[in-house]
Amino acid sequence: MKKLLTVALVIFCIAGSLSCKPEKSDQPGQFGSFPKKSEKSSKAEEPAETFTPEFLFDSSKAVKDEGHKDFSSITGFELTKNMMPGWNLGNTFDATGSTGLASEMSWGQPHTEKVMIDGLAKSGIKTIRIPVTWHNHISDKATYTINPEWMKRVKTVVDWAIENDMYVILNIHHDDYDKESKMPKCNGIYPNKTNLVESQRYLYNIWGQIATAFNNGYDEHLIFETMNEPRPKGTPDEWWFSGSSRSIEAARSLNQMNQTALDAIRATGGNNAKRFVMCPALAASENAASSSLFKMPTDVERGRLILSIHAYTPYSFAMESPGQREFTSQHKDELKNMFTKLNDKFIVNKYPVVIGEYGATNKENLEERLAWFDFFLTTAKSYGIPCCLWDNAVWEVAKGSSDYSEHYGYYNRKTQTWYFPEIINQIVESTK
């Protein structure tokens, strides 16, 4: 979970009830009058930049998968049924605090060891989502080439999970540029017209390298997720799909970006020609996914695409600090409405859904959280939706404090125990 997420997601809990009209834009005279047809511009217009799908990375440095596993004929809905329950290796490989292998620990997490992954499997976790940030591990910005040592380290942890017969979700995580102005090369992605082509080049080359490192040696247990929470950062529309001209531009840009990432994965062939791929809407929100502007990409392989969303819902209970500590019937209705909308637009139309992040921050309200987990997960299961618990290892509320922000710690990675055994027991029970 991102450190900026806390304040932002309040918008999600009210977004469904808002009716927003797009702002008018591109009006003649808005920024000065247009030249008349008979007038000639004093400066010739530069042709619009276009994206060409080509791999620019240094293939001699790319990590190559030399394994072999047969890919089964499992359907997307069969896959998602088998993925319950899930967990996130949060604030680890997604950290942006430094470069090099030490960045894995730069946000305060311990070095990931096989015993940690083994402990999760023994606890009943079936899926591990491994968020990874890549832009701070590019060794050659001219070619978008990823440091092979970073790729090998990610591959090691993925393999530990696969050895435990777990499903793994691998993604591009905190690779979001932080402002809507022109983005320097190799600084990640940004969903607007100004940065669309550079975002596409970045996605095509990063996914080309990931898919080269993870191909025939991995069957359907490895799932790719194109992006994490792509959004127009640094703007009023960052977390809220408002229907403004900016958010409409962002949604349309993101549709192209999802398509580009998928095309890069498919271009590597082998098992990646039929790899299951998760695609998010803006900010990975149900609100943006429910918009008519959001489109799943076009795929050469039928039935291999999955919608990816995040749901710290209801915000007032699951995330807001101090918010509400009691899980109410009104909160249940909000969750029912969210799942109904996901069903009506996606599941009915043959697109499975995965909730890649969810959780309820610790407000020293264990019994209420248990009720929330039970309702959330049993409802999700009824629609065949697996959910991956966000875990940032922050679990204990300071004595006498009412600051409940970002307390999403559940699993003690050092001792392979759970801070709240009742919660993991409830998660396993509710997803049986």
Active site residues: 173, 229, 357
Report residue 29 as tokens.
């005279």
Distance CA 104, CA 110 (A): 8
* Cα–Cα distance for residue pair 33/19, rounded to 1 Å: 32
Phi, psi of 222 (to 5 degrees): -105, 125
Tally of helices (H runs) and strands (E runs) in the chain: 12, 12
Residue 29 three-state SS: strand
- Pairing type for strands 138-140 and 145-146 reads antiparallel
User: CA nearest 63: which of 150, 144, 138?
Assistant: 150
Residue 50 burial (C-beta neighbours within 10 Å; 0-12, 13-18, 19+): exposed
DSSP code, position 145: E
Q: Are strands 127-130 and 86-88 parallel, antiparallel or unpaired?
A: parallel
Question: What is the full DSSP assignment across 362-422?
Answer: --S-HHHHHHHHHHHHHHHHHTT--EEE---S--PPPTT----TT----EETTTTEES-HH
DSSP-H helix ranges across 104-215: 114-122, 148-163, 196-213
Cis peptide before 297 (omega within 30 of 0): no
What is the end-to-end Cα distance of the chain in Å, rounded? 26
Residue 51: burial class (beta carbons within 10 Å; 0-12, 13-18, 19+)? middle
Task: Determine the 3-state secondary structure of 306 from DSSP.
Answer: strand
Amino acid at residue number 73 = S
For residue 352, count other CB atoms closer than 10 A to its CB.
Answer: 25
**Cβ atoms 328, 358 nearer than 8 A:** no
Compute the half-sphere exposure of residue 283: CA atoms within 13 Å on the CB side of its CA: 30
Could you tell me which of 136, 139, 112, 117 has the C-alpha nearest to residue 128?
Answer: 117
**Tokens 């990874």 sit on residue:** 132
